[in-house]
C-alpha cells in the first residue's frame, strides 16, 4: 500500500544517512511538484549533509472542494475550513504513510531522527502523523496549515500524561493568505501550545505560498533537532 505513495527521495549529500525528513505536499500537488517548487525557491534541492528528504505523493481520489473531481490529496473534506468535521479518508492515508515511515525505521533510522511536516494539507496530515501515530519523532512542521476544530489530534493529546516529550512544532503562515486564513493556523498553534507542546509560529508578508526566508528558517530548525555531528543512530 505504501508503494502507491510514490515517494521521491533527495539523498543526503554525504556518505552516511543519519535521519530522514518527510515533506508532504499540499492538495492537488505531488511529491515531485513540491520538490521542484522548493528547488525554484532555493535554486537548489532542499537537502542536508546527513538526512534524506522524502517527498511522497498523496493518493488520487475524489475531492469534494474540487466538485468531486479527482485530485492528489491526503484526505477528502467537505470544505477548506476548520469548521467542518474530519473525513474518514484521513485515517486511511495515515496507514499508508505509517508503512512508509516504518520502512525507514526498519532500514535503521530511529524515530528519534525522523521529522514529519508539510505545506497546507500536507501540514495538516503531518499533525496527525506526528501527534497521533508517531509521537516519538522530535519535531513536526506545518507551513500554511491548520487543524479542524475538535480534531482527533487534540483528543489524542488529552490522554498523554508527559507532554514535554511530544514533538516540537514549527509553524509558518502568510498573513495575506486567502485560502487558509492565518488565524486558522495561529489558532491551531495556540491550542497545541496550551496543551503543552513547544511551538514556534512565524508570520510572513505573503499569500498561500512558501518563500526563501521561511524555508531557510525551517532548515535551521531541522538542523537543531537533528544536528549533523550528533552521535545518535
Is pLDDT at 4 greater than 80 in this prediction? no
Number of alpha helices (DSSP H) and beta strands (DSSP E) in the chain: 6, 9
Banded model confidence at residue 146, pLDDT cuts 50, 70, 90: very high
- For residues 148-176, average pLDDT: 94
* Predicted local distance difference test score (pLDDT) of residue 232: 58
Is pLDDT at 46 greater than 60 in this prediction? yes
**Pair 120, 77: CB distance under 8 Å:** no
- 219 falls within a domain: yes
Of 50-59, 126-135, 157-166, 194-203, which range is least confident?
157-166
Give the chain's mean pLDDT.
93
* Predicted local distance difference test score (pLDDT) of residue 233: 55
Banded model confidence at residue 9, pLDDT cuts 50, 70, 90: very high
Alpha helices in 30-77, H assignment, sequence order: 31-42
Contacts of residue 75, defined as CB under 8 A and 6 or more positions apart, other chains included, come to 86, 87, 89, 90, 92, 93, 121, 125
Q: State the catalytic residue, choosing from 81, 91, 152, 208.
A: 208
Is pLDDT at 3 greater than 50 in this prediction? no
- 230 falls within a domain: no
Report d(CA 104, CA 5) in Å as an integer. 14
- 233 falls within a domain: no
Q: State the catalytic residue, choosing from 120, 126, 144, 151.
A: 120
**Which residue range is the domain that position 170 belongs to?**
6-225
* Predicted local distance difference test score (pLDDT) of residue 229: 81
Looking at the structure of the chain, the number of domains it has is 1
Assigned C-alpha cell, 89: 479518508
**What are the pLDDT digits (tens) for 29-43?**
999 999 999 999 999
- Say whether 50 is catalytic: no
Domain CATH code at residue 46: 3.40.50.1820
* Predicted local distance difference test score (pLDDT) of residue 2: 43
- 212 falls within a domain: yes
- For residues 193-198, average pLDDT: 94
- For residues 94-119, average pLDDT: 96
Is pLDDT at 190 greater than 90 in this prediction? yes
- 1 falls within a domain: no
- 196 falls within a domain: yes
- For residues 189-211, average pLDDT: 95
**Pair 77, 43: CB distance under 8 Å:** no
- Say whether 120 is catalytic: yes
Is pLDDT at 68 greater than 80 in this prediction? yes
Q: State the catalytic residue, choosing from 96, 126, 151, 177.
A: 177
Share of the chain above pLDDT 70, in %: 97
pTM for the model stands at 0.95
Report the interhelical angle of 31-42 vs 212-225 (nearest 10°). Answer: 110
- 231 falls within a domain: no
* Predicted local distance difference test score (pLDDT) of residue 1: 39
- For residues 70-84, average pLDDT: 94
* Predicted local distance difference test score (pLDDT) of residue 5: 80
Amino acid at each position: 500500500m505504501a508503494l502507491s505513495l510514490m515517494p521521491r527521495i533527495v539523498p543526503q549529500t554525504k556518505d552516511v544517512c543519519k535521519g530522514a525528513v518527510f515533506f508532504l505536499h499540499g492538495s492537488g500537488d505531488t511529491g515531485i511538484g513540491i520538490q521542484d517548487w522548493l528547488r525554484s525557491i532555493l535554486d537548489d534541492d532542499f537537502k542536508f549533509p546527513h538526512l534524506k528528504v522524502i517527498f511522497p505523493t498523496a493518493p488520487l481520489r475524489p475531492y469534494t472542494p474540487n466538485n468531486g473531481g479527482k485530485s492528489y490529496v491526503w484526505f477528502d473534506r467537505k470544505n477548506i475550513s476548520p469548521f467542518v468535521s474530519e473525513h474518514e479518508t484521513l485515517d486511511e492515508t495515515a496507514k499508508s504513510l505509517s508503512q512508509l515511515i516504518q520502512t525507514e525505521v526498519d532500514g535503521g533510522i530511529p524515530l528519534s531522527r525522523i521529522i514529519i511536516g508539510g505545506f497546507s494539507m500536507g501540514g495538516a496530515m503531518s499533525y496527525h502523523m506526528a501527534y497521533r501515530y508517531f509521537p516519538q519523532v522530535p519535531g513536526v512542521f506545518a507551513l500554511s496549515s491548520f487543524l479542524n476544530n475538535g480534531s482527533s489530534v487534540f483528543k489524542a493529546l488529552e490522554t498523554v500524561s508527559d507532554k514535554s516529550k511530544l514533538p516540537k512544532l514549527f509553524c509558518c503562515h502568510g498573513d495575506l493568505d486567502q485560502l487558509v486564513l492565518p488565524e486558522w493556523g495561529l489558532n491551531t498553534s495556540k491550542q497545541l501550545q496550551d496543551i503543552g507542546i513547544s511551538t514556534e509560529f512565524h508570520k510572513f508578508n505573503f499569500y498561500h505560498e512558501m518563500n526563501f526566508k521561511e524555508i531557510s528558517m525551517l532548515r535551521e530548525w531541522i538542523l537543531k533537532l537533528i544536528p549533523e555531528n550528533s552521535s545518535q543512530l
